[in-house]
Chain A
Amino acid sequence: MRFLSLLIGKIILGFRRLSGGGSALPGLVVEKLNPGFLKQMLAQLPQGVIVVSGTNGKTTTTKTIASLLEGQGLRVLTNKSGSNFVRGIVGAVLSNSTLGGKLPFDIAVFEQDEAHAVHFVHQVRPRGVVVLNIMRDQMDRFGEIDTTAKLLQELSTSATEFVVLNSNDERVSKLNPSNGVKTFWFGHNKDLQHSFLTDDELHHLGDVSFHSAGEPLFELTDYKQGEITLNHRGKSKTLKTALSTSHNAINLMAALTTLEAALPDLDMEKVGESIMSLQPAFGRGESFKLTDGTKITLQLVKNPGGFTHSLRMLNQEPYDVIAMAINDDYADGRDVSWLWDVDFNHLEGTKTPLICGGTRGFDMAVRLKYDGAPTEHVKREIADFVEVVNLEAKGKSAMVFCTYTAMLKIRSLYQKESSEVYGVEV
């Protein structure tokens, strides 16, 4: 049955590629033909499967874990961002297997959102589970935060060997793995508390308290542009890396912890080399340098937690222009009410030029106005928005916060224009 479903899946995949279609259909057909397909195929991987979940940072962390494992000489199967349906994973398995049914990889790392992760682990029990954080996402797409926590509990229970958890996120730290499964923590130290916040702090308008559930295997102790400092087994190390924004740096801690959990006899020298060559994921702290020397950094924002967190980064890393592009297409979330759960207070009276754009650029400008931050320009068309950003930031730097579809458009414009895509500035 495996071979028949594989063959049919591959044939559909071939036709879909010729017609430019996506990867969902072959997955759907194969799932119907042979519900055990995924389990049989993934059972071939000698080092098993790792699932990465949580509200924010899945794409970066998955990509980083995969790169670090590859740096250790492993062949890594992973799913592309955005195809985290079980069907998307079936698609990834189909297109990467031989006609004879062999999956020539050592290990798989899959990004999964909370709901899809639970479907996936019903079919395949992962060796390791990584949970990054639990925050309120856009309510029109996902349910409620308590429901999310329950889903992630189910995911954690499914791990057969280890779980990697955020020591600073109270909801995550309460997740319990099954008996005999090891817990590894990652996190940051108390000094960096101002850079990171939990969902409750975000919504309670109240106290900021430092939560630490366990001693992190990799603990972030400092970050600045192009460089991070971490504590690993009592030793402090400073590393040059392009993953130096606060989001990327904490996700790197999660990735390093996962790496050590999965490969106990790690070659630390090779890890250091891999870190040097890591690049941020698509639009997540990704930088472009324009021919006139202007530096543009893109930061995807999807929910109040992520946006507030990203704004705190501005304390650590100042930019000459701050821009925000808010679209309300389906992939962004139609409802923009969540912008009012983001705290823009520290932009009050700022001298830094603020530019808003996208289909809901005016909503963004209104939001800033009520936190006392005046917007200089609002451009609904992304092309006009980018033009104004380039003009205002000419020869200097701009941080552009953008929702998903705005990010895709902005990114494609900069790819045409920039002389190089770069991450590290040494």
Chain B
Amino acid sequence: MSNRQLHIVHLYPKEMNIYGDTGNTLVLRRRLEWRGIDARVTLVGIGDEIPADADIIMGGGGQDAGQDKIQADLQTKAEVLKKMSDDGVVMLMVCGMYQLFGRSFTTNEGKVIKGISLLPLETTAGPTRFIGNTLYTSGFGNIVGYENHSGVTKIDKDAERFSKVLSGAGNNGEDKSEGCRVNNVFGTYSHGPVLSKNPSFADGLLLLALERKYGVKELEPLDDNLELSAHQFAMERPR
């Protein structure tokens, strides 16, 4: 495995960097290194190009001010990202970036911010803020996380939801859906950072990327005792 390498790109670490979501990139990097696979991390900011050989693209939540700053730049990257999505590149977008990967975000004042339409969904700022610990069930098993958003996200009927809400609000607090998936692009409201306490999700993303690049069918197991304990105890905490 020693010659293998994945190129992880983290979008807008400067502007979209609250809630510790950059931790997801660290989790992926370490879990590759522990298996003897090289991890190359590139931070992509406003005006930077997305490297053409990206295997995994990550994005996180930000402040309103951060979201304002990146919108226009994200539009210039829309076409490249769409091609990469069709090509099976793995992406994980959390909270603010999840919303901007949809078609639009409508603010409290009724202003419509254009997204890049990679995910079939629309978000409207709602009257209540959804805050608290969350538990979802997904194709990667149970997902523990923390949500903090006022966005109400509605996904197209036939689109694939990332997970089902067991506890928390999820996409909109109504239909028990959480997140979205198109090709290998995942969107979710889960912070935590989400990959830190859900090693099956982290490895699921790595396997998708390694399979696409090298045809890998299985990952070498790691000692996840600490991560699984953190996962277990997070499930027991109140909302």
Instruction: Give chain A's interface residues, CB within 8 Å of chain B.
Output: 136, 139-140, 144-146, 203-205, 328, 334-341, 359-360, 362-363, 365-367, 369-371, 375, 378, 380
Contacts and interface: CB of A to CB of B under 8 A. Distances in A.
Interface string B8-42: 00000110011111110011001000000000000
B131 A340 contact: no
Contacts of A140: 131, 148
Contacts of A367: 23, 196
B108 interface: no
Nearest to A143: B63
Contacts, number: 85
Contact of A139 (B65, B148, B193): B148
Interface stretch (B114-122, B170-178, B212-220, B224-232): B224-232
B19 A335 contact: yes
B132 interface: yes
A366 B20 contact: no
7 contacts: A144-B63, A337-B19, A337-B23, A340-B20, A341-B18, A362-B229, A378-B229
Contacts of A369: 226
B161 interface: no
Given A340-B22, A340-B193, A335 B233 contact: no
Contact of B23 (A146, A340, A362, A378): A340
Contact of A359 (B14, B64, B233): B233
Interface string B182-217: 000000000111001100000000000000000000
B133 interface: yes
Interface in B132-152: 132-133, 146, 148
B237 interface: yes
Contact of B230 (A136, A204, A337, A362): A362
A367 B23 CA distance: 9
Contact of B197 (A363, A375, A378): A363
Given A337-B193, A369-B226, A205 B237 contact: no
A334 B132 contact: yes
B20 A338 contact: yes
Nearest to B223: A369
B92 to A, nearest CB: 15
B43 interface: yes
Interface of B: 13-14, 17-23, 26-27, 30, 43, 63-65, 131-133, 146, 148, 191-193, 196-197, 226-227, 229-230, 233-234, 237
Given A363-B197, A370-B26, A337 B226 contact: no
A145 B13 CA distance: 16
Given A139-B19, A146-B65, A360-B233, 5 more contacts: A335-B148, A337-B192, A341-B20, A365-B226, A370-B27
A369 B22 CA distance: 16
Nearest to A363: B230
Contacts of A136: 18
B113 to A, nearest CB: 17
B14 A340 contact: no
Which residue, A139, A335, A359, has most C-beta atoms of chain B within 10 A?
Answer: A335
Contacts of A144: 18, 63-65
A297 to B, nearest CB: 26
A340 B229 contact: no
A380 B237 CA distance: 12
Contact of A370 (B13, B23, B133): B23
A204 B14 contact: yes
A359 B145 CA distance: 15
A328 B237 contact: yes
Contacts of B23: 337, 340-341, 367, 370
Which residue, A328, A337, A340, has most C-beta atoms of chain B within 10 A?
Answer: A337
B197 A146 contact: no
Given A139-B148, A146-B65, A340-B26, A335 B226 contact: no
Which residue, B13, B146, B226, has most C-beta atoms of chain A within 10 A?
Answer: B226
A378 B230 CA distance: 11
Given A145-B63, A360-B233, A369-B226, A203 B197 contact: no
Which residue, B14, B19, B30, has most C-beta atoms of chain A within 10 A?
Answer: B19
A205 B65 contact: no
Contacts of A203: 14, 17
A144 B19 CA distance: 11
Contact of A378 (B30, B146, B192, B226): B226
